[in-house]
Amino acid sequence: MDERLKSLQEAILAIDEASAVEVTELLLKAEVPPQEILEEGMTAALLELGRRWNCGEAFLPEVVAAAAIFEKCSAIVEPALMAQTEKKVSHRYVGATVKGDLHDLGKNIVGAMMKTVGLEVHDLGKNVPTEEIVEAVRELEPKIIGLSALLTTTMPEQEAVIKALEEAGLRDGVKVIVGGAPVTQEWADKIGADGYAPNAPEAVKVALALTEAAA
Ligand code: B1M
């Protein structure tokens, strides 16, 4: 692993915002691909923090502070991400973190990556009620929606959205991709989602495959 990506991880884990911002800018200047900065630097740091939290080695205030630094670094990386990718498709994508769930960093990264391939992204935010997602599908008529869930207790909301789309007669017109740390392919199959991805680059691949299949 690039030592500079490692120092970005360390700065986030040490809750050192100034260093994290500085290293992110240096990495971009050094033309390290923005996807690598996002995945191997920033996301890896939060995953490590999650592990520490699990073992009682980290506490909520640290997680909140690290998440804020992550967002600062994302704002720096996102324009580079947008600039370097060639646009391929132009369909509408609606993204949301499901009801009861306040985790939105992953959803934001997925949305940013979807934009880089030319998808028109509508971000409904976090803790989004099922009815609001159904309404957005009715109004915006997206080709794809992406549902993030980071808690085992909110995963069932992904299923609730799929059921609500069926009941509203909207399910046939839209592909549903699910993701989030506890979500698996098995879960996606069980709830009748069209796609699952473990990370943002894979989510883009799945979205492209689904839009091609639907075209
Ligand atoms: Co929370 N939290 N959290 N948290 N948090 C987890 C998820 C947890 C695993 C930590 C732990 O205990 N080890 C645990 C869940 C346990 C479980 O459900 N079994 C947990 C808990 C318990 C909680 C609270 C209940 C804590 C409390 O209050 N006691 C609380 C719940 C609040 C709520 O949602 N109602 C809570 C709160 C928070 C913060 C607000 C402090 C903060 C979120 C800040 C924010 O999002 N703005 C936070 C954080 C940061 C985490 C961890 C540490 C990191 C999550 C994250 O942002 N990762 C997390 C530990 C972990 O995940 N291991 C944890 C980085 C992010 C880029 O990754 O979101 O996984 P992720 O997204 C990835 C992939 O999952 C995928 O691609 C992304 C990029 O590669 N992906 C998709 C995501 N969405 C996708 C959609 C797709 C496809 C792929 O298609 C559409």
CATH at residue 166: 3.40.50.280
Same domain, 97 and 59: no
Shared domain check, 95 and 76 = no
215 pLDDT band, cuts 50/70/90, is low
Do 156 and 200 share a domain, yes or no? Answer: yes
Q: Which of 201, 199, 194, 161 is nearest to 181 (CA)?
A: 199
> Do residues 37 and 54 share a domain?
yes
- Rounded mean pLDDT, 160-167: 98
What's the pLDDT score for residue 172?
A: 96
Q: Looking at residue 115, what is its pLDDT?
A: 87
Q: Residue 6 belongs to what H/E stretch?
A: helix 3-13
Residue 202 reports pLDDT greater than 70: yes
Give me the domain span that covers residue 33.
3-86
Could you give the angle at which helices 44-54 and 60-84 cross, rounded to 10 degrees? Answer: 160
Ligand 1: atom nearest CA of 183 is 75
Q: Averaged over 169-182, what is the pLDDT?
A: 97
Same domain, 93 and 174: yes
CB 20 near ligand 1, within 6 Å = no
Cβ 151 under 6 angstroms from ligand 1 = yes
C-alpha of residue 101 to centroid of ligand 1, in Å: 9
Domain count, the chain: 2
168 vs 35: which has the higher pLDDT: 168
50 C-alpha vs ligand 1 centroid, how far in Å? 8
Residues 134 and 195 in one domain: yes
Question: Residue 176 has what pLDDT?
Answer: 98
What pLDDT band is residue 18 in, cutting at 50, 70 and 90?
very high
pLDDT at 213 over 80: no
Q: What average pLDDT does range 138-157 have in this prediction?
A: 98
Do 165 and 103 fall into the same domain? yes
Nearest Cα to Cα of residue 39 among 81, 101, 79, 68: 81
Tell me, in angstroms, the distance from the centre of ligand 1 to residue 9's CA: 17
- The predicted pLDDT at position 109 comes to 87
Of 59, 51, 44, 53, give the one whose Cα is nearest residue 12: 44
- Find out whether 95 and 145 touch, Cβ atoms under 8 Å: yes
Residues 79 and 93 in one domain: no
Sign of the alpha-carbon dihedral angle for 56, 179, 15, 62: negative
Shared domain for 97 and 203, answered yes or no, is: yes
Domain boundary among 86, 103, 137: 86
Residues 81 and 97 in one domain: no
- Whether 107 and 172 share a structural domain: yes
Maximum average pLDDT range among 30-34, 39-43, 161-165: 161-165
Kindly report the pTM of this predicted structure: 0.91
Q: Are residues 186 and 200 in the same domain?
A: yes
Which of 54, 86, 118 is where one domain is finished?
86
The response to whether residue 156 sits with its C-beta less than 6 Å from ligand 1 reads no
pLDDT of 90 over the 90 cut: no
Structure tokens at 67: 């998440």
Atom 39 (ligand 1): residue with closest C-alpha?
A: 64
